[in-house]
Each structure stands twice: as C-alpha cells, then as structure tokens.
C-alpha cells in the first residue's frame, strides 16, 4: 500500500463548502530582477532565457551558450540600465504590479457581490506562479481565473503562463475549476483606455505628433510556425489608430527588444527612430500597447535609448506615453474582463445585482 509520504501530490486542508464559493484571480506578468544586483539580474535572465517557450532552440545547444556567454556578460550591462529606472520599493514592474493587484481587487469588491481573492505572480521572479497559487489555495479559492497581463497572445508569454499554471496544478490533489483568458487585444475597454492615455499625453504636451506604436518583438520564425502574435499586434494598432481618428501617414507600427542574431519582426523600433527625422517627422509620440505595466523595455529602452537615437538623428520632440499601469480605466478594463469570464460561477441572484451595480458605475 502506498503511504501519503510517498505521494507526489501536495497535502492541503479540505476546502470549506459555502453557499458562494470563493473565486481566485491570478494576474501574471513576466517579472524582473528582485534586486538591483548582478546576481539578481542573472537569476532573472536565467529563468527567462532557459524557458523553451522564450528561446525555441535545442536545449543541448542553447543552455551551454546561455551559461557560458550570455549570463557572464549581459547582467552587468543590464544592471546599469535598471539603475536608471529603479524605484525605492523595487523594480517598476513589481511596484506597479502590486498597485494594480490592489486596485483590481478593490474594483471587484465595489460591484461584484461574490468573494474574490486576487493575486499577482511573475513568470521569472518572485512572487512566483506557484507561490501565488498557494495563496489562492490557502484562501479556499475553489474556482480560479488566470489572466495573463499580455494583451496580445504569444506563445512566449501567454503560453508560458499556461505551462507554469499546469505544472503547479500537476501537484495539487484537488484541482480547482479553472478558466484561462487567452488575451484581450481587441477588447473595446482596453482600446478605449489606450486612446485615453494617448490623448491625455497629447493634451499635456500641447501638441499632436506622429504616433509610433511599438510592440515587443519575437523571432519571425515563431510567426512562420503559426504564432498569432504579429496579427494581433497589428489589430490592436489599427483599432487604436481608428479610435484616435488618425490618417495612415500619422501613425506607424514597429517592434522592439530584439535579442540575438535571428531575424525578428520588423520594422525595428530603434531603426524607425533613426529614420523618422529623415522623412521629415521631427516630433514623435511612442506608445507600447503590449505592456500592461512599465518596465525596463519601456522606461529605459524606449524613453531613454530610443529617445536618444531619435533626437541624435534630428528629432525635435520625443514623448513616451506610459503604459496603462494602475490607471483607473485600466483597472476597470481588467475588472470588466474578469467579470465577463466568471459568468456562471456566481450565484444568479448575486450576478444580477452585480450587473446592476456595474451599470451604475461612472
């Protein structure tokens, strides 16, 4: 007979059955170093770049390159980049993500008449997906909605979230009722929040310049293999341009954050920044709709590095529109998305009352 000590499953306190079961919401982002040190950056990069979802190459070939070359050279350079944006309470992504979690939980509590527990998790840094799900388990969440904070589906990001959630549940004795949000690249409240962020930026600067819509890139080979990311990024960009009533010549799409020698999605943002002044565009506004929260790729790569390239190439004015972060309209967007995806999980009477409260929100 097999004893409980030999079991591969985690022990857990049996859930308490209540009239309205608790709903857990897991918000997931990629993460960033937990400390402004070479060791902290190296640990984060090791987790990120060893994930086969991120680097689709032979493990036997890639992992020795990662350990021997990448992790011995890049961390020191990246620490210097992070030092330019680091906040007193940690990396911007971690600080903003904590704010966003609290705001979404508060928003749900104002109009969803059901018990919710909201947790934030990071794919490659603390708090991990396993830690966040253990907190949901401890809170007696018997239904869990997983919401990756990647508006445009990509196997390298959203797929990685699914992998990690599945690995955690593989050890749970009682698997909860589970739902997974694939993405929200064309969700009307999300597009409207992006529109509002850009128009507010233009209003504050007193001008309207060329809009550069920049997304994180991926290797072209991933798209050729069937990844829908590029198409969904284009859809988001087109919907945003339409919401802003821009003519074709008033905006453009590009991709950033290229890594390694492979050909990535083009045009590359940094090359566009060098070319725009040569085309007579000396004022540019950059928005990055693929980032739910500001991080190194927006605050340093775009707002510092790409700004420097644009200005050195003859640009006159450069404006970066912050990510949606914990803006009220972003919080409402995520809360609405959650409300839509938990339909059927809430008692019908409470669901009706919740919809009434939702309709009265300003």
**What pLDDT is recorded for position 4?**
47
Tell me whether residue 57 is exposed, middle or buried, using C-beta atoms within 10 angstroms of its C-beta: 0 to 12, 13 to 18, 19 or more.
middle
346 vs 224, residue with greater confidence: 224
3 pLDDT higher than 60: no
pLDDT band at 361 (very low <50, low <70, confident <90, very high): low
CA distances from 80 to 41, 44, 98, 301, 310 (A): 11, 15, 24, 12, 21
Tell me whether residue 240 is exposed, middle or buried, using C-beta atoms within 10 angstroms of its C-beta: 0 to 12, 13 to 18, 19 or more.
buried
**What pLDDT is recorded for position 359?**
65
Contact of 115 with 20, CB cutoff 8 Å: yes
3 vs 318, residue with greater confidence: 318
Instruction: Specify the 3-state DSSP secondary structure of 78.
Output: helix
The rounded distance, in Å, linking the Cα atoms of 267 and 182 is 26
Global model pTM greater than 0.85: yes
pLDDT band at 205 (very low <50, low <70, confident <90, very high): confident
The rounded distance, in Å, linking the Cα atoms of 15 and 294 is 37
**What pLDDT is recorded for position 329?**
98
pLDDT band at 146 (very low <50, low <70, confident <90, very high): very high
Give per-residue pLDDT as tens, 45-72.
999 999 999 999 999 999 999 999 999 9
pLDDT band at 1 (very low <50, low <70, confident <90, very high): very low
pLDDT band at 360 (very low <50, low <70, confident <90, very high): low
pLDDT band at 358 (very low <50, low <70, confident <90, very high): low
21 pLDDT higher than 50: yes
**What pLDDT is recorded for position 352?**
63
What mean pLDDT do residues 241-265 have? Answer: 96
Q: Please state which of the ranges 15-19, 164-168, 182-186, 303-307 shows the lowest mean pLDDT.
A: 15-19
pLDDT band at 255 (very low <50, low <70, confident <90, very high): very high
Average pLDDT, the chain: 93
Q: Which domains does the chain have, with CATH numbers?
A: 20-32+89-180+328-356 (3.40.50.1400), 38-83 (no CATH), 188-321 (3.40.50.1400)
What mean pLDDT do residues 28-35 have? Answer: 97
29 membership: H or E segment, kind and range: strand 22-29
What mean pLDDT do residues 156-176 have? Answer: 97
8 vs 5, residue with greater confidence: 8
pLDDT band at 11 (very low <50, low <70, confident <90, very high): low
**What pLDDT is recorded for position 208?**
77
What mean pLDDT do residues 6-19 have? Answer: 55
284 pLDDT higher than 60: yes
What is the total residue count of the chain?
362
What mean pLDDT do residues 277-305 have? Answer: 97
What mean pLDDT do residues 347-357 have? Answer: 61
């Amino acid at each position: 007979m097999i004893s409980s000590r030999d079991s591969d499953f985690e022990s857990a306190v049996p859930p308490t059955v209540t009239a309205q079961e608790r709903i857990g919401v897991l918000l997931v982002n990629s993460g960033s170093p937990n400390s402004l040190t070479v060791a902290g950056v190296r640990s984060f990069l090791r987790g990120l770049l060893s994930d086969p979802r991120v680097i689709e190459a032979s493990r036997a070939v890639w992992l020795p390159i990662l350990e021997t070359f990448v992790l011995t050279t890049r961390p020191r350079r990246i620490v210097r980049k992070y030092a330019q944006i680091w906040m007193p309470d940690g990396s911007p992504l971690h600080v903003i993500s904590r704010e966003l979690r609290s705001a979404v939980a508060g928003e749900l509590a104002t109009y969803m008449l059901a018990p919710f527990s909201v947790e934030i998790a990071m794919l490659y840094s603390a708090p991990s997906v396993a830690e966040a799900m253990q907190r949901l388990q401890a809170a007696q969440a018997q239904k869990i909605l997983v919401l990756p904070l990647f508006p445009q589906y990509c196997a390298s990001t959203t797929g990685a979230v699914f992998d990690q959630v599945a690995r955690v549940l593989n050890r749970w004795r009682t698997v909860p009722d589970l739902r997974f949000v694939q993405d929200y690249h064309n969700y009307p409240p999300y597009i409207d929040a992006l529109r509002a962020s850009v128009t507010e930026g233009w209003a504050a600067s007193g001008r309207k310049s060329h809009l550069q819509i920049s997304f994180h890139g991926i290797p072209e080979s991933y798209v050729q293999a069937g990844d829908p990311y590029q198409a969904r990024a284009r859809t988001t960009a087109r919907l945003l341009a339409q919401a802003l009533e821009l003519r074709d010549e008033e905006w453009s799409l590009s991709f950033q954050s290229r890594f390694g020698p492979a050909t990535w999605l083009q045009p590359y943002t940094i090359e566009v920044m060098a070319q725009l002044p040569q085309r007579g565009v000396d004022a540019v506004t950059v928005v990055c709709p693929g980032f739910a929260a500001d991080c190194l790729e927006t605050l340093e790569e775009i707002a510092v590095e790409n700004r420097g390239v644009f200005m050195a190439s003859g640009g006159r004015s450069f404006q970066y529109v912050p990510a949606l972060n914990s803006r009220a309209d972003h919080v409402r967007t995520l809360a609405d998305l959650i409300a839509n995806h938990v339909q059927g999980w809430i008692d019908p009477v409470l669901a009706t009352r919740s919809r009434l409260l939702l309709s009265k929100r300003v």
